[in-house]
Structure 1
Amino acid sequence: MSGVSDPRACRDLWRRVLLTVVLDLKSADRIAQRTAERWVGPHPSRDFREVCELAGFHPDRTHAALSALLPSSPKERAVRIRALRHGTGEMLDAA
């Protein structure tokens, strides 16, 4: 059983937060999309950086990957995310 102090469990929790953002970016739910888009933003916020670090991801690279999706439609985002999953996009493996 893993407790709150289990580093792997904590990292996995923050990875799920990032996964939720990815899923929201390609969601049909416009409110979820907009919330995720604002959270990603034009520049990585302090919160964004902290979540990435806690998840074990490089904040600048993660932000670059996610912000590159923003100009696309949700359908285009889904296609690009699938392509990343099959390439080198380790963060998107579970999307």
Structure 2
Amino acid sequence: KHSGNPHVRAAVARKEPQHVAWATEREDGGRGFGFTGGHFHWNWGDDNFRRLVLNAIAWTAHADVPAEGVATASVSREELEQNQDFPKP
């Protein structure tokens, strides 16, 4: 919700697109990936969320990324709670 950033909140209210992930490849072949979705701990419980991040890591490292994406095991609620720094919802 971008509660701490009034400029972003105003842009969201205006229905402007919000970019949460981006990738770049330099002319020399170097690659980079940026992602703002890691702040909410419970997102890591979503298989597709983790797959996006794993695919990006593999791509950045010039590894082959399978068409179906990098395999990721499902994470249980108990596993997520093991590393929860904030009060559980």
Q: Which has the higher helix share?
A: 1
Fold similarity call, TM over 0.5: no
Q: TM-score, normalised by structure 2?
A: 0.33
Higher relative contact order by CA 8 Å / sep ≥ 6: 1 or 2? 1
Q: TM-score, normalised by structure 1?
A: 0.32
